[in-house]
A and B are shown apart, each in its own frame.
Chain A
Amino acid sequence: MGAAAEVALQRPRRRPLVWRRVRNGAVPYLLVFPVVAVLAGVLAYPLYYLVRISLERFQLFELVRGAGVYIGLDNFRSVLHDSTFWHTLLRTVVFTAANVTLTIVGGTLIALLLVRLWAAVRILLTVGLILVWAMPPVVAVQVWIWMTNVQNGVLNYILTELHIGDYFGHNWFDSSFSQLAMVTTLVVWGALPFVVITVYAALSQVPHELVEAAQIDGARAWRVFKDVTLPVITPILYILTCLSILWDFGVFTQAYLLIQQPAIVPGNYLMGIYLFEEAYFKNDYGRGAAISILMLAIVAVLSIFYVRRMVRVGEVE
Chain B
Amino acid sequence: MSPRLARKLGWNALGVALFAVMVFPVFWMISTAFKPNDQINSVNPTWFPAHPTLKHFTNAINKPYFWTDVKNTVIVVLVAVGVAMVLAFLAAVALEKYRFSGRKSFLVLLIGVQMIPGIGLIIPLYILLAHVPVLHYNLVNKLSGLIIIYVAAVLPFSVWTLRGFLMGIPKELEEAAMVDGSTRLGAFVRILLPLVAPGLVATSVFAFITSWNEYIFARLLLNDGSTQTVTVWLSYYTGSSRATDFGGLMAASTLIAIPVVLFFLLVQRRIAFGLTAGAVRG
Q: Do A and B come from one complex?
A: yes
A139 on interface, CB distance cutoff 8 Å: yes
B64 on interface, CB distance cutoff 8 Å: no
B169 on interface, CB distance cutoff 8 Å: no
Q: How far is the CA of A303 from the CA of B19 in the complex (A)?
A: 33
Q: How far is the CA of A4 from the CA of B168 in the complex (A)?
A: 29
CB nearest to A26 among chain B residues: B100
> Shortest beta-carbon distance, A161 to chain B, in Å?
10
Chain B positions 139 through 177: 1 when the CB is less than 8 Å from some CB of chain A, otherwise 0:
000000000110110011001000000000000000000
Q: State which size class the interface on A falls in.
A: 35 or more
Instruction: How many A-B residue pairs have C-beta atoms within 8 angstroms? Tell me.
Output: 309
Residues on A with beta carbons closer than 8 Å to the beta carbon of B246 = 146, 149
Q: How far is the CA of A285 from the CA of B122 in the complex (A)?
A: 10
Contact assessment for B272 and A198 in the assembled complex, using a CB-CB cutoff below 8 Å: yes
Contact assessment for A147 and B28 in the assembled complex, using a CB-CB cutoff below 8 Å: yes
Known: A66-B131, A240-B276. A140 touches B25 (CB 8 A): yes
Main secondary structure of the interface of A (DSSP, over half): helix
Query: Quick one: which of B91, B124, B231 contacts A46, CB cutoff 8 A?
Result: B124
B3 on interface, CB distance cutoff 8 Å: no
A27 on interface, CB distance cutoff 8 Å: yes
> Which of chain B's residues 87-126 have a Cβ closer than 8 Å to chain A?
87-88, 90-91, 93-95, 98, 100, 102-104, 106-109, 111-113, 115-126
A162 on interface, CB distance cutoff 8 Å: no
B74 on interface, CB distance cutoff 8 Å: no
Q: How far is the CA of A137 from the CA of B125 in the complex (A)?
A: 22
Residues on A with beta carbons closer than 8 Å to the beta carbon of B113 = 39, 43
Contact assessment for B25 and A152 in the assembled complex, using a CB-CB cutoff below 8 Å: no
Q: Which residues of A contact B (CB under 8 A)?
A: 1, 5-6, 8-9, 12, 24-25, 27-29, 31-32, 34-36, 38-39, 41-43, 45-47, 49-50, 53, 58, 63-64, 66-67, 110, 113-114, 116-118, 121-122, 124-125, 128-147, 149-152, 154, 157, 189-194, 197-198, 201, 236, 239-240, 243, 246-247, 249-250, 252-253, 257, 260-262, 272, 275-276, 279-280, 285, 288-289, 292, 295-296, 299-300, 302-303, 306-307, 310-311, 315-316
Q: Which 8 A-B pairs have the closest CB atoms?
A: A250-B117, A42-B152, A134-B264, A31-B94, A137-B282, A28-B98, A303-B115, A5-B181
A-B contacts, 11 listed (Cβ < 8 Å): A32-B90, A35-B87, A43-B152, A113-B15, A131-B23, A137-B215, A143-B26, A145-B238, A246-B117, A253-B282, A272-B119
